[in-house]
Structure 1
Amino acid sequence: MSRERQLHLGAFMRPVSLHTGAWRYPGAWPDANFNLRHLTYMAKRLEAAKFDAFFMADHLAVLNMPVEALRRSHTVTSFEPFTLLSALAAVTERIGLIATASTSYDEPYHVARRFASLDHISGGRAGWNIVTTSNPDAALNFGREDQPDHADRYARAREFYDVVTGLWDTFADDAFTRDVQSGQYFDPGRMHVLGHKGPELSVRGPLNIARPPQGWPVIVQAGASEPGRQLAAETAEAVFAAPQSLADGRAFYADVKARAVAAGRAREDIVILPGAFVIVGETIAEAKAKRAALDSLVYYESAIASLSIALGIDASGFDPDAPLPEDLPETNQSKSSRDRVIAMARSEGLTVRQLAQRQGGYSGLSFIGTPASIADKMEEWIDQGGSDGFNIMFPFLPAGLTDFTDQVVPELQRRGLFRRDYEGATLRDHLGLKRPPNRFFPG
């Protein structure tokens, strides 16, 4: 069966599962996020299932939660993304490799070099997830007392993007002649010195690495706030969205695509991939039972700590069996995550305990059911303009991953919704994205 429009699938590994109870689930690998052998196995299984990308999030600090909660968290340790993805590039051939890098606590020259290197090492499979970093404890690891304001972080991110992409365009694609007879290794006339001086950044250049195979590694962005949406519309090629429902997804999809057009881009220049937490069962009842068993592994101290992070304030003093207080103070945390949690509490009438338990496990978009029912939902999202695919979040490893690759992917393929094999070699090929021209050496 052929279908005009197929979906894209990324695997969101943060570092493997978002769910606090994932490492304790029966049969799960407790060290899945910090074991190269396990991570290699997962990357190869995802590639065999023809996933577009392995998407690795990152933290620049131990999560800011009380030690009683932290001691139960598998996110306290994880590999640095570039080190891990470089290792995975050597044992895979086609799957894209997306790493997170912060515009608040790094420098453009560092980021440009790392991603260009990963793109060369992997043969054109790198992607950069642009984040501004909302964890206030990260500031303390970089010589600062507090993080920059939300608006300031996004202003720096926008300029940061311009500088990094300008550095990637340092050399024309044909700059490296390597002419043994004449002794010319590269043509200096095909090298551009950036010479950037802006409000936030001053970077001379040139970058000391050849232009990446993809021209630029794929640009990924996940902010859902007003500044985040605008940054995505102007810069991103893949957007990691976090809608709660198909109606929310359609509204976000239409908004970001319209903003992109207003910014002079085409709608197809961006693919929008909501995060979807997926649990597979032989029956819907079995899948729901797996979810209930997983959620039961979340301790209250972990749950309330997760809620505190999402709200940007200490929620441990709230009455667990009362509604969320009405007069929550404003913070400098991620505004989209905070607003989503508050809206959920209000719309569903949840107590603090119920909201914390949901947040401590996973509170976002979930597809819980059989391979057929999950495929039905995904098809509905694609057909009704809610997404171009999904970033799949696995509930526990390895079974949550293999359940999806071995059961849901074949169902999607049977319906013509997903590829049976890769048609290209690069991440841009997988996502249907054009290779950007060099701004300094067109043609």
Structure 2
Amino acid sequence: MSAQMKLGAFLMPTGHHIAAWRHPQAAADAGINVDHMIAIARTAERGLFDLVFFEDAAGVREARVELASQAARSIGFEPISLLAALAANTQNVGLVATASSSYNEPYALARAFATLDLVSGGRAGWNLVTSASEIEAANFGAQGLRAHRDRYAKASEFADVVARLWDPANRTGTIAHEGESFMVAQGLGIPASPQGAPVVVQAGSSDVGRDLAARTADVVFVATQTFDAAKAFYDDVKARVKAAGRNPDHLKIMPGVSPVVARTREEAQAKFDELQALIPDEVGLALLASYLATDALDGLPLDGPMPDLKASEGMQSRQQLVIDQSRREGLSIRQVAQHFAGARGHWRLIGTAADIADELEAWFTGGACDGFNVMPAFFPGELDSFVDLVIPELQRRGLFRTAYEGSTLRANLGLATPG
């Protein structure tokens, strides 16, 4: 059988579009409605997705209250706790959550994910991130945001400690780690799950982020908007994996994609246009400025060009992606903000199931990815549309499974079992 793509369902309470909460079909309380979350996880499992994924930020994402109240992303469960509820209400789909290496301790995090992995029968995954927000830093007594390279140095040690704690040989006894940032004496005292250890996901695209992923990750999430950029990233990271002494097939690279799909192109475009019309200028601009970690857009004419931006200590790869797109397509600040609000810099597709499948197939068969992290514009409607329309089309082409290969996340992703 030819290779088949892997799919993650990136679950956001009301949807990935910044104005999704204003859509007539949206559940206004989605972020704190566990039944809603269970329902969309079950929909992903019905679609045979490899995993569901939740991001996280330890703070309100927008400092200005009048804007935070319009974005909906500021309200939501702590994801590891939520995944425990989803584990009890699903059987096969993987369960992945973000937890920052900046404001956690490796022992506590390793213990929480190892427990989730055990109670779910081997379906847990950890998305390792470094926190890039001044708002988060202020919630943990930090004196401002750590420099980008310092954050990744700490993350590298953090990942090494967690890997040792999850090693089946170290589950009891001592590990005696004494490093630059952490000291850990004992093993977890928790037996390994059927998959051996939780899957490690990484999402950094900077040079140090790529190195960390190549050395420690099983899955990489990335934001790319063109085939050439995706192919270059794929080839570079796979080469780094090989240089690190690992099998490149044991790292799955899954770019984010935000599809709006319908039975006709006209209907799909109308669905997207309806969402775009719901974005207030100030909300779109605030989201863009937040991700770029800049106040350089304040007071500039919205119909003018994007200014040159100084490199920040925030999400450097995302900043460069936005700048490159604005130059490539000649977009104004308003146009960049509106585009960014639709998928936060990720690849966006609008069309029929065949249109969407054509694009996904071209990237996959062209060697630009191992699959995709699907980011529906709003829930539950767009996830239902993808499962009901796009999944059958991918299956018809032999590009996606018709049944789960195994009962663990590693088995379904085709990853080796540690130990």
The correspondence of residues 372-387 of structure 1 with structure 2, limited to 5 A, is 372-387=354-369
TM (norm. structure 2) is 0.97
Q: Match for 2:219 among 234, 238, 250?
A: 238
Q: For 1:24-103, what aligned pairs fall within 5 Å after superposition?
A: 24-103=22-101
Note if contact 1:168-1:212 (Cα within 8 Å) is conserved in structure 2.
Answer: no
Which stretches of structure 1, 4 residues or longer, exceed 3 Å deviation after superposition? 170-173
Instruction: Determine the C-alpha separation between the residues in 2 that align with 1:266 and 1:209.
Output: 28
**1:14 offset after TM fit, Å?**
3.2
The aligned residue for residue 121 of structure 2 is: 123
Distance 1:211 1:398 in 2: 34
TM-score, length of structure 1 as denominator length:
0.92
Partners of 1:96 and 1:256 lie apart in 2 by: 24
Offset at residue 206 of structure 1 (A): 2.1
Mapped partners of 2:206, 2:85: distance in 1:
34
CA 1:194–1:15: 2 relative to 1, 3 Å: farther
Residue 340 in 1 paired to residue 338 in 2?
no
Match in the other structure for 1:227: 208
Contact 1:15 1:56 in 2 (8 A): no
Alignment pair present for 1:160 and 2:158 = yes
CA–CA separation in structure 2 for the residues paired with 1:16 and 1:133: 23
Map of 1:320-339 to 2, 5 A cutoff?
320-326=302-308, 328-339=309-320
Q: Closer, same or farther in 2 for the Cα pair 1:65/1:302, shift >3 Å?
A: farther
The aligned amino acid for 1:280 is V
Q: Name the amino acid aligned to 1:302.
A: V
**Matched residues in 2 for 1:128 and 1:171: separation?**
20
Please give the residue correspondences for 1:198-347 in structure 2 after superposition, counting only pairs within 5 Å: 198-314=179-295, 315-326=297-308, 328-347=309-328
- Cα offset, 1:16, TM superposition: 4.9
CA gap 1:352/1:65 in 2 versus in 1, 3 angstroms: farther
Percent identity between the aligned chains? 46
> 1:352 Cα shift?
1.1
* Counterpart code for 1:351: S
Residue number in structure 2 paired with 1:177: none
The structure whose Rg is larger is 1
> Which SS does the other structure have where 2:246 is aligned?
coil
SS of corresponding position for 2:174: coil
The answer (yes or no) to whether the contact 2:170–2:187 under 8 Å persists in 1 is: no
Tell me the residue number matched to 1:369.
351
Residue of structure 2 aligned with 1:17, choices 15, 35, 57? 15
Q: Show CA shifts across 1:74-99 (max 9, x none).
A: 11110011111000100111100001
Question: CA, structure 1 residues 172+162, in 2 after alignment: closer, same or farther (shift >3 Å)?
Answer: closer
Q: CA deviation at 1:112?
A: 0.6
Equivalent residues of 1:10, 1:390 under 8 A apart: yes
1: CA distance, partners of 2:206 / 2:352: 33
Structure 1 residue runs of 5 or longer lacking an equivalent are 174-190, 438-443
RMSD over aligned CA atoms reads 1.4
Q: From the superposition, tell whether residues 170 and 7 of structure 1 become closer, same or farther in structure 2 (CA, over 3 Å).
A: closer
Separation in 2, partners of 1:423, 1:331 = 43
Which amino acid in structure 2 is aligned with residue 205 of structure 1?
A: Q
User: Matched residues in 2 for 1:219 and 1:392: separation?
Assistant: 18
Checking the alignment, whether the CA contact within 8 Å between 2:16 and 2:378 is kept in structure 1 is no
Q: In terms of mean alpha carbon deviation, does 139-148 or 426-435 score higher?
A: 139-148
Match of 1:427 in 2: 409
Aligned length: 417
Letter in 2 for 1:70: A
Matches of 1:304 and 1:277, distance apart in 2: 20
SS at match of 2:239: helix
Q: Does 1:356 align with 2:337?
A: yes
Counterpart Cα distance in 1 of 2:184 and 2:13: 32
Structure 2 counterpart of 1:384, one-letter code: G
* Aligned 1:143-182 pairs, distance under 5 A: 143-169=141-167, 171=169
Partner of 1:179: none
CA distances 1:49-86 after superposition (whole Å, capped 9, x unpaired) = 11100101111000134223212011111001111100
Q: How many Å separate the matches in 2 of 1:310 and 1:84?
A: 25
| SS of alignment partner, residue 366 of structure 1 | strand
Question: 3-state DSSP class of the match of 2:418?
Answer: coil
1:8 maps onto 2:16 in alignment: no
Structure 2 unpaired stretches of 5+: none
Matched residues in 2 for 1:432 and 1:256: separation? 18
Q: Take 1:78 and 1:311, find their aligned partners in 2: how far apart are those partners?
A: 23
Q: Is the 8 A contact 2:342 2:377 kept in 1?
A: no
- Displacement, 1:293? 1.1
Q: Secondary structure, in 3 states, of the residue corresponding to 2:73?
A: helix
Partner of 1:4, secondary structure, is: coil
Q: Distance in 2 between matches of 1:358 and 1:168?
A: 41
**How far apart, in 2, do the equivalents of 1:246 and 1:16 lie?**
29
Q: Of the candidates 384, 395, 398, which is equivalent to residue 413 of structure 1?
A: 395
- Does the CA contact (< 8 Å) of 1:298 and 1:361 recur in 2? no
